[in-house]
Structure 1
Amino acid sequence: MVTPFADRTRVSLAALTAAAVFVIDTFTRLQSAVAVLYALVLLVADDGTSRSRPARWAFPCAALAVISFLINHGDRADTDEVLRLVASLAAVTIAALLLTRNGHLREQVRASDARYETIFNSLALAIWEHDFTQVAAELTALRTSGVKDLEAHLRANPLYVAHLCSLVKITHANDAAMRLMGMTNGTRFFRRLSDFLPEEDSSFVEGLLALNRGSAIFETECQVRTAQGDLIPIFIAMRLPTDGRGYDRVCGSVLDLTERKRMEKNLDAARLERDEALHRAIIGGLSTSISHEVSQPLSSINAYLAAARRWLDRRPPDVAEARKVIAQAEHAGEEAAQVIAQVHDVVEQGRLERSLVSFDPLVRQVIEAIQSRQPIASLGVKTAAEGGYVLGEIHLLERLVASLIGGALSASPGLDDQTTINITTSADGSYVRLNITGSGSCDRAAPGLADPQPAHFSAGGMGLCRAIAQFHGGSIRVNGDRTDAGMDIELELPRACNGE
């Protein structure tokens, strides 16, 4: 910016220079084109802007050159003297034209800079500019000294990393960066990266490694310390020089992640509340189904004990038959204990932990367990969901599959060698499915399975299954539940693609 004092000083100096050239040209007998020195007047008068208008000085200088020529030579001038005058006037004219052109170019550059500064400061995205020149020189020195594993060297020398961080200068920052870092108008931005990047942050080491590799882009999440000392999470993206030049102008685009982190925290809290609500729903379903699932083995125990008492009351007592009945009562007691243990496992966990579960192996494992306990049932199994994973609680998923297959068996006739239940798994890009189909009606329940009710699920049993499916984001559809048509059950669970 040109001040009035500087402008007056420049004009005065230009006028003195013009007067000195005129005196030398007029009152000395130098055999040269002294008037060429009038070009100096234009250079002195130029203030670097188009406002100076060198033409305003060119005309007076040219007039002084002509006046000096007429005073010294008049009409007696020879050819050499005329040529010297013409050369002087040409020099002044060319100087004026060049200075005028340069003034316009400088004005265009200033306008472009002002436009860039306006855009730079009006962006909502925070941007600051780094100078990595000294850091690049340090990394080059390390390579020259024989350091081959730069990452190991940096990890082993945190003080040296802190030193490199202090070498990174912050040369420019826009208004959004000032607001992000809690700075008011008139406050200077941080001078060095170490002023606001915590020493314990490992992102700087990653940036040094990217710089050393010659990567074109470096992106990372880190934390920075504001002017008030608060730590805020940010995402920063930098375009790094790959040609060995431009280390003094490395811009970083910075996104404030505070709001996103807050939303993620709220989302995690909402998920926790949802999981706890579903857990309570499962416990409620369990409490409803316990009476249904335990009542059959308890009733069987009472019946077996009554039969044993009758065998023992005979004269003579039939001890062998009594022992058989007591063994059956023990088996029924074990089934009741298993139900109680499963319920206890779910309740004891308090918070259900999810993991990636391969669906087909889980289904095959449940089927093997059922067939070992119910060998007379023929299960047609076709697992085609290889590679299909479910994100869930494995014990609940096993319980769910076993309950659905048990319900289908309960709805099948007789459970003899002619009984067939078709079990099919499949998967697409979004879901993993289990289809269970059977036909006919039921005369009695499958002992030891999840739902002891004949011909259909009990309210508690189906409620528990639906609660477990909903806990995993899935659903259950029962397409048929008629006495003469058996059951057609479809379980659908969200797929965790490729086990991820």
Structure 2
Amino acid sequence: MTKPITRAEAEVFELFHESVFVRDMQGQIHFWNSASETLYEWSSQLAVGSNARALLQCQGTGRPEAADAKLLADGHWRGELCRTTASGGRRDVNVRWSLRRDASGAPVGIIETSHDISAAKEIERRLIDSEYRYRNLFQAMAASFWELDFTKVGAKLRVLLDSGVEDLETYFQDHPEVVREYLRDTRVIDLNDHSVRLFGRGNREEMLGSVDPYWPDASIQVYARCIVKSLARHPNNIEVTRLQTLDGRELECLFTACFSKENMARGIILIGIIDLSEQVAARQALEVMQTELAHAARISILGELTASITHEINQPLGAISAYAEAGLRWLRRPDPDLKEVEMALQSIVSEAKRTDDVITRVRNMAVRRAPAECVIPINDVIRESLQFTRHQLQKHRVRVELELASSLPDIKADRVLIQQVMVNLVMNAVQAMALKENAGRELFIQTTHLLDGKIAVHIVDSGPGISEDHLERLFESFFTTKATGMGMGLPICRSIIEAAGGEIKLANRSDGQQGADIVLTLPEATADCLMGGGNSV
């Protein structure tokens, strides 16, 4: 029989935010704190005296006997378990067992502390799914992607630079044999199925080796310029060139090499190739790629907004729990207050609707589908986008000022895509302003109806502004000023706005204040759209 806990111990355990309960060596529960009641939904009266494993239906990654043996050997055990609540729900919990001993040192019981990691496990599962989807995207997109290892080239470049060579571009022009040597030393470590179809003979393993066979003599200076630009810390190199298949055919290609900091530190270059010899097929591939990249960018945005979404959902869920508990208390009174119960139930319905609205917004943003134009009010889209980013705005103490023109004509566009543009631009502004410590952070959004019939949206922030060196390059694919950015957010925004017949411009503020000024212009929906050419939502 376990040594009963003292009143002092019980009072301390009740202060814990984590679940704490005490059981004897046979598993019978002798103490069960309030946090355990909240986590597992079993009251102390029902839990005390029950067998812990039978009550909670524990499931773990290993055998229970192994955990018990380690507990007896070491005096403690830590791990993750999946348990069942009183209502039949499942909880992933992080558990720590500590052995209790009597005065002679014999084990007499176990103290368990645990906390809920269900949300973290769900996020982990979603991240794994996301990585799987991105790998499928790498394989499924109608473009050729390669991962190249240039570690040996890096070592030879250091020797070359140490020898006194300063003008690498001229040196490579004068010594093409050196470029060819570097090509032989650059290894293909991964490529997608489209690359095998385009350049190979059906055998992927055959292509995992030197990149040299794919480069005709006329194109080796493209590779040389990639080296020069990577050393100059350019984000990418994009050129039209000719590459060679294993069976000797030459293809006119759009060649892109991306030099992200993370990959360069590992000696890796990611290249993308689009076959331009079949223009129609290439255009279709670009359209598919744009849709896929827009979807990938939305998933990326949702990843950045995970904390916001969690906060948005947890607030109404917490309120629902509080209203439900209050309703139960009023019902359990000797003279139940039915009016208060009715008000609590009405609040629960309202908060449940609020939770459903959040989930609907996330689902609409995450779904992969072809663009669907419809007639939409731009002011509503702006307000919806601010709902998505509300938590980030609050977290970084950004004051938002709206000046939305009334009676604006509708626009014709894909609602989710325009929402994606707004969320991306607002997040960019928030992240820029977050770099300025102890400074006023203000975001001003204005809509106006221009004389030429177009709708203008101004997004003005109080961040550090845009470097003059970057102004002309912000819409280049893979160009980014963020350490972990992909450089695809603004190019995708521009493609979405231009597809809707509009325009996007970025500049620094012209009012003498520091910050950026982004202007979107979109055409108003035509009479045909309003009469039935588009589906209003």
State the TM-score, normalized to the length of structure 2.
Answer: 0.33
Greater percentage in helix: 1
Greater percentage in strand: 2
Bigger relative contact order (CA 8 A; separation at least 6): 1
Rg (Cα) greater in structure? 1
